[in-house]
Amino acid sequence: MSCLGSMAITTSLLLVSGLLPYLPGPRLAFCAAASALMSATLSGLAVGRGALFPNFKEDNPSRIVSGFGGTLCLVVGFAYIASFVALTAVPDIRRVAPSSITLSAGTFLFLAVLLFPLLTALRRVKTLEI
């Protein structure tokens, strides 16, 4: 639900803000797809890190978020966003590298950051004892 909610909000805001300066259709579609991918990846990262570093003894949710797992998720999320933007948007704007290379690298990064935490969390949940 967090994935769909954040995807709907970010994609709709991006589309509205992209229509105002009259961005070309292909660029607007690319930005909307990149925003949707980032929303899915960040949600998957949060779910995966939450399953890897659970804290069942804490009652206060704000203390859970500020613990090791929450801080690690924040740092990895910032690094992912910076890397994804550097791989997909900056080369297109500056015309530095061919877009096929940067898009394939961005796709690999997306899949790695989405699937690795979820697969490791699935393995951890199977062996978890409460």
How many distinct structural domains can be found in the chain? 1
How much is the pTM? 0.80
Alpha carbon of residue 121 to chain centroid: 16
Q: In whole angstroms, what is the distance from residue 6 CA to residue 81 CA?
A: 15
Structural domain including 23 reads 2-126
Q: Which of 52-56, 64-68, 94-98, 123-127 has the lowest mean pLDDT?
A: 94-98
Q: pLDDT per residue over 12-66, tens digit each? A: 998 888 887 777 888 888 888 888 999 999 999 988 888 888 777 878 877 777 7
Print the SS3 string covering 12-77: HHHHHHHHCCCCCHHHHHHHHHHHHHHHHHHHHHHHHHHHHCCCCCCCCHHHHHCCHHHHHHHHHH
Q: pLDDT confidence of 129, banded at 50, 70, 90?
A: low
Q: How far apart are CA 84 and CA 18, in angstroms?
A: 19
- At residue 112, the pLDDT reads 92
Q: What is the pLDDT of residue 60?
A: 82
The model's confidence at residue 98, banded by pLDDT at 50, 70 and 90, is: low
